[in-house]
Structure 1
Amino acid sequence: MSYLFPNYTRDSIDLVDGDGCYVYDQDQRRYLDFTSGIGVTNLGHKHPKVLQALTDQTTKIWHSSNLYTNHLQEQVAQKLTMGKDYLTFFCNSGTEANEAAIKLARKATGRTKILSFTQSFHGRTYGALSATGQPALQTGFYPIVAGFDYLPYNQLKPLKEKLTDDVAAVILEVIQGEGGIIPAEKQWLQTVARLCHENNSLLIVDEIQSGMGRTGNFFAFEAYEIKPDIITLAKALANGIPAGAMLGKVELAEAFGPGTHGTTFGGNNLAMQVAKTVVTEINQPAFLSAVAAKGNDLKEGLTQLIDQIAKVTAVRGSGLMIGVELDSPETLQKVLVELKQQQLLALKAGQTVLRLLPPLTISQAELMQGLKIIQQVLLN
């Protein structure tokens, strides 16, 4: 008997330990981790500097509340914004970051409508769920928050038709994660950014899964040469300690004055000490270049299978955020089971996509070991 709500379909393995790119279950069986806790442990498990930061802060204050100045928040915010153009609000999760972004967009513009995209995923609280373009996730929870329209991703005509003077913001993922690892087309995204600017609508970029170095850039949008008005982060921000953030342009500050938004736990000392270390470790040119190179190797090794195996129809993604499109949901489920039997853990995205999110710290040898296992399972 379980004492938990059955809102998750849980595997029988209980992960009780982790080290680097490996996790261990209750029977001490070791698995190569190509999930990173769904894009969370970007620096792997028990990263020595992250562990030291956490240990150091446990001997100091853990939580003080946002009624007081917090030097750790200031330090992390400066690192995230590179000290210019943006201000930061800290929270606990991605869905909270998107809730803050939705509120800020409506408050700053005085408008109500928000445009999102089909197959998007922005969270499960009411505002974030309402921004998520997946009706199956909204079923049973109506009425959702009003004012959201959902448009086809990577298409301009529907956006132009809907981008009217009552649109507060457009919210999007640079790479749709839960929707199937679907990257934005560069010209499309650049045009979206330009149209938002011309319409005085804000562009919200959800970097919750694609940010923090996952694609080989610190922010995935950097490869598209755009500048969002609002950016949301979470997942890997503190490598497993709950932390989220919303970054907004400095000129939006007036809309978020005292009393407009808040959080009890967001930005607490424990999370910020860890986040400071994580951001410092990831946001380095050599580290990001290595992620991009490893991602290219993984993608190339998987792309070769398209011509060899009928059930592999496409390989998509950037850096170490890779999706392998398979020919059916049944194939995907079979592959996930067989990978686990070969002691490699992976994820699904959408109905037919094998999603691979290994730690960014994975070694070349570990990456090739994982690639070999995936290739062998797909060849079966």
Structure 2
Amino acid sequence: MRKIILSVIGILLIVLSFLFAKKLIADKHKPKPVKEKVVKTVFTDTVLNGTVQIIIPANGSLVAKRRIELYAEVQGVFKTGSKLFKPGQKYNQDENLIRIDASEHYASVQSSKSNLYNTIAAIMPDLRLDFPEVYQKWQDYLNSFDLSKTTPELPKMTSDKENYFITGRGIVSSYYNVKNLERRLSKYNIKAPFSGILTEALVTEGSLIRSGQKLGEFIDTSVYEMEVALSKSYASLLKVGEAVVLSNLDRTETYKGNVARVNGSIDAATQTITAYIDVKDDTLKEGMYLEARLNAKEEQDVIEIDRNLLLETNEIFIVRDSLLDVIPAKPVYFSDTKVVLKNIPNGTIILKKPVPGAFAGMLVKPFENSVKKADK
């Protein structure tokens, strides 16, 4: 029995060895599979150099072009007016912003004016006798004198004798004392120098105001300006009056402005120059953040492409005989998404969109061949 089992095992080993050898021979003569070449389809453009308008992006916050800080020059109680002194309150030009109780000072003014009138009236008999030629003009001055109105200017003195006589009676000094008091009386009423809106109110009606105290801030809402800092390389390109297009951050609204001023010096720390842009619009508010696009200059014989098409070595891919190659390029301006290039020959076929894993010598197939030229 043992011999039979051993014989069967031997026969099986011989058969398996034969089959394995036959398979090895068959695999040896089987041709190896040929790898299929992968040809990537790419989007291309044909270069046509032209003129590109360089647009400088800038941003900043709006501030009112005309603004004043309100300070008290006199002391007194804040009197209630026709409008509440609150932030957001609008006032027209020459309308009272703040009225301070001036009854005590007003009485002093009236007393000084009365003293001046009495002093002039006391010298009238002497003028009739000693200076009859000037008597009438001083009489006319007294007739026009009204305690309820601003003190009129003294008559012009025509001779040294008249001047000595009038000055010696203390009339000139009394006159200027009255004018000084009247000038101070006007400070009890603070009027709006222009039509605008109150943005800050630090006092309320009925409170005691002290001399030198800040009362609030008042701005003109008809025109705003935005301060932007630009590279010093554009210092010679910015022009006063240059039109500027501004937009909000969402770019849903656009506004028209113009360059109002350009600083004459360059910031030594940042090497930037400051420009100020005026903009008018009823929907604008102080503090709004806007983006501006300034037309700087025009570059000749250039093209504009996406920034991601320019390699770190300042080279770009071109298509030559269905193969990718690289050529040097000279970038002259970078924006957020675009780059302006020089030294790219006309007729050169370049990539329109980046190709993942691209390398020089890569086999490609152009999908579309359009003309790539500068925007005029």
TM range (shorter): under 0.3
Structure number with the higher strand fraction is 2
Larger RCO, structures 1/2 (Cα 8 Å, 6+ apart): 2
Structure number with the higher helix fraction is 1
